[in-house]
Chains A and B, each alone.
Chain A
Amino acid sequence: MAVSGPRHRRHGKEDFSIKIIQFDEKRLQFETAFLRKAISNMNSFQMNRTLIIVAAAFMMVDALRPNVHASDWLEFLGNNHQANANGAQLPKSLNQDKNVAWRVELPARGPAGPIIVGNRIIVTSSGGEGRQQDRMHVNCYSTETGEELWHHQFWATGRPFSHPTSANAAPTPASDGERVYAFFSSNDLVCLDLNGKMLWFRGLTYDYPKAANDVGMSSSPTIVGDVVVVQIENQGDSFVAGLNKLTGETVWRQPRLQSAAWASPIAYQVNGEPHVLLLGRDGATAYRARDGEIAFKMEGAGSTVSSAVNLGQQLLLPFDGLTLIDPSQISEGQPKVIWKSERLRPSNTSPVIDGTTAYLLSSRGVLTSCDLTDGSRGFQFRVDGSYWSTPVVANGYLYAFSQDGTGKVVKLGDEPEVVSEIAMEETILASPAVNETGLFVRTENALWKLTAE
């Protein structure tokens, strides 16, 4: 087990190699298998059509994000928010002695999840004067060894307050594969290259002084086309902005409902045109990435915490319960609703996708499956625990990390079961990241790598 150096240590390691995998063969195998299943299960013309669309969507999804490499985990819940890591070599049981490859102490605390770009893992944290979390950290470590590659600190220019459970470092960073965008609850956004050189720094509360939520904000940025999109939704200056990802300058800004939201925007494309969809208390709104023009707005009960998922041609929305839409088919200003289920209601965590199934883990530890083809509910299984962290799914197993620091491996199937547990004994609010070599879990003050033996 390797442990990082002292708090103030910073290393600059240039030319750290980035492993690029252009094509995920296992994913293609899976998608092909799904397509076969879809065709064999056709019951009606409508179902037939829906299944083919969904299947095609899965096959398209990687092509929509040109910077996505199979081994990367570039944003909150991974690429497209699917929290899916099929093909990764993950342990099927978790044991402190056998599966902890390394653990590094972070310089401060936070519920922000890590992201992975090649062989680098990047994570943010915050500390400072008590509850006033005005010192922000961005750390980069080797995914292989946990060695610190670089560490930068910044001062918050916005309001760095939050509920004691959260921290200024609540949003998960994002990357386009070449740059890192670290965002904080204080609405400070910093762009660095992969070697830790800062390219620009933006203080969005410095720009808009009423853009604040002293409970803390956690919406993670996403990169859509040439802009990095931040959702700053609160009772004061409430807006969504697309910033030039190279310079940090504002490309567009649209007002949002003056009501707090913590959900993260999701990128998607229609006919090659990048868009972004946001959830808020008043519904779901899609914006064209290049100019912020509203593509559509669905009025209703949008989730303010749980985030949407990009399935390729469809988007799965925590909206009026759970809703699957096709944003490419707009009629009278509204996207085509493929199905809607008011029975299925994601809470603090976001839906997790595995093929034609979505899994919803409630904040109280009840796991529910949902058939994406028609929105029907499948099993309900009590995992137990209290959850803010969205689980990940890989190779038929679900990895869930509860607030009290317990990690559980759930074998999925018609009769799911918890097959392993690990007591990490540190608060966990962050959603894990995965690459082909392991599972990366951020506890309140540390970053862990869990691997197969």
Chain B
Amino acid sequence: MYRVWIGSAVLAIILMSGLNQRSHADDQADIAALAAKIKAVDRFGKGHLEASSAVAELSNLPPSSIPIILQEMRGCSPLAANWFRAAIESSSQSDPKAVPTSVLKDFLAETANDPYARSLAFDLIVEQTPGQGPGLIETFLLDPCMELRFMAVEQKMQEVAKLVEEDKSELATERYQILLEAARHPDQINAIAKQLDSLGQPVDLNQHYGFLMGWSLIGPFDNRNKVGFDTVYPPEEEVNLSVELEGKEGAKVEWQPFTSEEDFGLVDLNEAVGKNMGAVVYAVTEFTVEQETPAEIRIGSPNGNKVWVNGELVISNHVYHAGNAIDQFAGAITLKPGANQIILKICQNEQTDSWAQEWQFQARVTDATGKKISASK
């Protein structure tokens, strides 16, 4: 009889364990459902309640779930990426080494994976084994994730600097030139160019960045009391380089060609059209490509600015003297085959501070990573 009891008990345990056992596919489906709630987070706090609950659930999953969560991050918004990150970091806290490093490395190596997820995978690997960082960073030199590529260029720059210290100038020059092609961040590009210059290999940065040097300018138009930023002056409706227009205070203004000879393609409007506070200038150029090309127009200016490409407004910032940098503002565009018209509107206000007298811009056309796109003519 006791055998019957034992047999029944064993059978019950087997059945119960079968009922409770969840397959990998079930886990994956559950995680996907939670991930969907996080991905639904949107502007203005939309989806917060559901996402908060999902983050709490994901945070409590064992670290073995992390590779699935990383996969589920694909295509997530920058907002959602942070919610995912918090969940994964909390999950990993119970045992940071629970996920095999090889799994994370494989995920990182696949450049088609989500860039936020790959960046996080890298951080998890380094947390597990800090010594693995430099070796991995070395592989990011041409990585499509700019955050990872920045680290690689930074690390390589330090290595090449040592070559310079060891008087291996030829090798250092060669390595710096490779880095120059790989670098996308202006801080790094400028630093590498400076090193190459000191090694006797000056870099034409205007050419390297692809700054637009040749412009037609017209102005000044009125921007006293900042009225000009939203005022539609004739160049916004039609560009006819041969017509004379009525400018600020009724003065006649006409288009004039201007070619920048400054570093970083700087167009100094105080020099080009004369210092004028409370004023607007338009700058026009054409950018020709042979085939349709996804691109970005990137500008830097301490002044209020608008940019149109082929008549479409792609950048607009009514901000004065609050920062100025290469690639400060960017707008996604699609270049059409043939000539593409680029119009900039640069607005100077009436601040009297010594640091508020700059009236200038610089502009270039790049791919999504910041590499210049060359015009075909």
Contact = CB atoms under 8 A, between A and B. Distances in A.
Given A12-B90, A154-B82, A198-B90, A247 B52 contact: yes
Given A200-B48, A248-B45, A129 B319 contact: no
B52 A200 contact: yes
B126 A130 contact: no
Interface in B24-64: 43-45, 48-49, 51-52, 55-56, 59
Interface residues of B, number: 46
Query: By CB atoms of chain B within 10 A, which of A129, A135, A153 has the most?
Result: A129
A247 B85 contact: no
B185 A235 contact: no
B52 A129 contact: no
Interface string B73-97: 0000011011101110110111010
A206 interface: yes
B93 A214 contact: no
Interface in A2-27: 6, 8-12
Interface in A122-181: 128-132, 134-135, 150, 152-155, 157, 161, 163
A199 interface: yes
Interface residues of A, number: 49
B169 interface: no
B188 interface: yes
Contact of B45 (A157, A196, A202): A202
Interface of A: 6, 8-12, 128-132, 134-135, 150, 152-155, 157, 161, 163, 188, 190, 192, 196-203, 206-207, 210, 212-215, 234-236, 243, 247-250, 258, 260
Contact of A215 (B45, B96, B323): B323
B215 interface: no
B246 interface: no
A198 B86 contact: yes
B40 to A, nearest CB: 14
Given A213-B322, A215-B322, A153 B48 contact: no
A153 B150 contact: no
Contact of A10 (B59, B127, B186): B127
Contacts of B127: 8-10
Interface string B116-157: 100100010011001000000000000000110010000000
Contacts of A210: 317-318
A129 B317 contact: no
Contacts of A188: 82
Given A248-B48, A249-B48, A161 B325 contact: yes
B86 A131 contact: no
Given A130-B187, A203-B78, A235-B322, A153 B44 contact: no
A197 B56 contact: yes
Contacts of A248: 45, 48
Contacts of B55: 198
A186 to B, nearest CB: 11
Contacts of A190: 82, 86
Given A161-B325, A198-B55, A198-B86, A206 B45 contact: no
A9 B52 CA distance: 24
B18 to A, nearest CB: 34
6 contacts: A8-B126, A130-B187, A154-B82, A197-B56, A215-B323, A247-B52
Given A8-B123, A207-B43, A214-B325, A235 B320 contact: yes
Contacts of A260: 322
Given A9-B127, A206-B43, A207-B43, A155 B81 contact: yes
A247 B325 CA distance: 36
Given A8-B126, A155-B78, A260-B322, 12 more contacts: A9-B127, A10-B93, A129-B147, A130-B186, A154-B82, A154-B85, A188-B82, A201-B82, A202-B45, A235-B319, A247-B48, A250-B45
